[in-house]
Chains A and B, each alone.
Chain A
């Protein structure tokens, strides 16, 4: 197990290096930094001094090495607009995004897993057709448009819930349901297909032949095995959740990392944009690592490297 953890950690290193390289290249492509930071009327001499002072006159690979060294020390550069370290600005907004994503994840899993199980057990029933129809719809709706519809119906029409902002529980409802929808659809569909596959296995027939009650067969024999791959899928979709969070935050003016990135783009505060990009990507790589390990824990066949059936 220790060896597996170590080898996975080592495998994550090139991905993380790649992430920083892409961020660096993007910064290079975004244009001349002196155009951005110095006043328009600054002379070429002043600009040259500035470049020298910040090491911008050195060869690109050297600049990247310095950039990387600074990142490793937790230095993501200074935010132009906040005049504070960019990492600090991003970290401040992180709890809001995590809160929104966690709420969405909870809603999605709590509804989708039971719905998927019932759909599979009662295959071709009205419930099955209805929920699979909703799943299809859920997968076809853009997150931001769903958010707008939610606002239109529940806030503008029914005056039942607040339109935007963060702080109270009521304010969390619309954004988290909006963000959950797409994941909900995905998980419900996968749970159903996973259950259908497990239910056709020999050991389920054996369990039934032993005379076990149908509920025991479903709950103890089928669900446990069907859920193992779902854990992986849900884990791997956390990145998608973070992406969807950007759109949801934009629609509901939720003060998370997503809105921070969008605001910073308008202010051309690129250090903040890149700090957010790198930090979120790093978190994402680490989450995937955890999911892999969790999968190994849940399914011993993966851990020992045996062939998966």
Chain B
């Protein structure tokens, strides 16, 4: 009799678990249409997306759209003001720098550098941060303690000061730059993902799939990951904006992208020297940064509101 009851109990719980697991299958993918629909209704989001697409397009098509190469010098055309000012050259729309290099071309080529470096850094930070967040949230214990402690230590530094010290004491190579930038963002991913995992782990359908004998790997990739994708996408857009500013700050100080590679920050540090005599050197690269970052922020805001209206501020 007792055995029979136990069997029944087990049968019921297995059945319940299967229903919940089916729920889990269904819950993935639900709501995609709503997200797209909400996104499409946001005008500012469209403006942001347009700016972002424009900048990425220009960066990708740099060799096609830039009138000159970024290093092309024309010494008889040094420090020409923009085309529409008196003394402006008809062949250099945004004027030239002290070496007679075309400003427009350099701003366009620098888009490649700045967006490329920030983009790769965000990817590196995302992969590492998400992995750390998943592991520390799912397994907990000493691993969790270690990862969160590392995050705490890193957050004890004002980031820019740490980045400056690291870039100065190591060599300002491209790889170091990407690592330092990724350092800024991994914590954000790790903490957010860890939080989401802790919540997801408590959900009945996850417990149910575990009861049905799913492996950790399957639970993480099939049931937990889909729940953290939305926050990851939103974080990525804001981190991209943040890292573009961080990269340009470091390059401005001479600790980021090294000449002759053009970068917006590097161009601005030259522009600072000529601020009183040739304002265009210090204005156009900055406009490029602000348009890009503004575009990303507008798009990111819309994306966040579309994916989770509760987060709206």
Chain A residues in contact with chain B, CB under 8 A?
14-16, 18-19, 22-23, 26-27, 29-30, 136-137, 139-145, 148-149, 151-152, 156, 189-190, 192-193, 239-240, 242-244, 246-247, 250-251, 258, 261-262, 265, 270, 273-274, 276-277, 280-281, 284-285
Residue tally, chain B, CB below 8 Å to A: 43
| B155-194 interface with A by 8 A CB criterion | 155-162, 164-166, 168-170
Residues of A within 8 A of B169 (CB): 26-27, 29-30, 270, 273
User: Interface of chain B, helix or strand or loop or mixed?
Assistant: helix
With A26-B166, A136-B298, A261-B164 in contact, do A277 and B286 touch (Cβ < 8 Å)? no
Q: Which 6 A-B pairs have the closest CB atoms?
A: A18-B153, A243-B160, A193-B313, A145-B286, A30-B169, A243-B158
A288 to B80, CA, bound (A): 50
Known contacts A142-B245, A189-B313; is A281 also within 8 Å of B157 by CB? yes
Stretch at the interface among B67-75, B132-140, B274-282: B274-282
Please tell me if the beta carbons of A261 and B158 are within 8 angstroms of each other in the complex: no
Q: Which of B153, B248, B293 contacts A19 (CB 8 A)?
A: B153
Give CA–CA (A247, B245) in the complex, Å. Answer: 11
Taking the closest CB of chain B, its distance from the CB of A290, in whole angstroms, is 14
Distance, CA A280 to CA B156, complexed state (A): 9
A interface footprint on B232-258 (CB within 8 Å = 1, 0 otherwise): 000000000100010011001101000
Q: How far is the CA of A250 from the CA of B255 in the complex (A)?
A: 13
Q: Does B62 contact A (CB under 8 A)?
A: no
**Distance of A18 Cα from B157 Cα, bound (Å):** 10
B156 near A284: Cβ-Cβ < 8 Å:
yes
Instruction: Say if the beta carbon of B294 comes within 8 Å of chain A.
Output: yes
Whether A242 pairs with B275 at a CB distance below 8 angstroms is no
List 11 A-B residue pairs with CB atoms under 8 Å apart, sorted by A's residue number: A19-B156, A22-B153, A23-B165, A136-B298, A136-B301, A137-B294, A142-B286, A144-B249, A145-B268, A148-B275, A281-B157
CA–CA, A145 and B269, complex, Å: 10
B283 within 8 A of A: yes
Q: Is the CB of B161 within 8 A of A280?
A: yes
- Closest chain B residue to A243, Cβ basis: B160
A141 touches B290 (CB 8 A): yes
A246 contacts which chain B residues (CB < 8 A)?
Answer: 160-161, 164
Query: Is B165 a contact of A277 with CB atoms below 8 Å?
Result: yes
- The residue that B272 contacts in the complex, of A148, A189, A258, A284, with Cβ under 8 A, is A148
Q: Which residues of B contact A242 (CB under 8 A)?
A: 158, 161
* Chain B residues closer than 8 Å to A243, beta-carbon distance: 158-161
Interface assignment of B149: CB less than 8 Å from any CB of chain A:
yes
Residues of B within 8 A of A280 (CB): 157-158, 161
Contact of B297 with A by CB under 8 A: yes
Q: Given A193-B313, A244-B160, A250-B253, verify A152-B168 contact (CB < 8 Å).
A: no
Contacts of A190 in B (CB 8 A): 313
Is B289 in contact with chain A by the CB < 8 A criterion?
yes
Partner of A149, one of B160, B286, B297: B286
Of the candidates B155, B156, B160, B253, the one having the most CB atoms from chain A within 10 angstroms of its own CB is B156
- B39-77 interface with A by 8 A CB criterion: none
Q: A128 to B253: give the CA distance in the assembly, Å.
A: 36
Q: Is B9 an interface residue (CB 8 A)?
A: no
The answer to whether B282 and A281 have CB atoms under 8 Å apart is no
Q: How far is the CB of A30 from chain B (nearest CB, A)?
A: 4
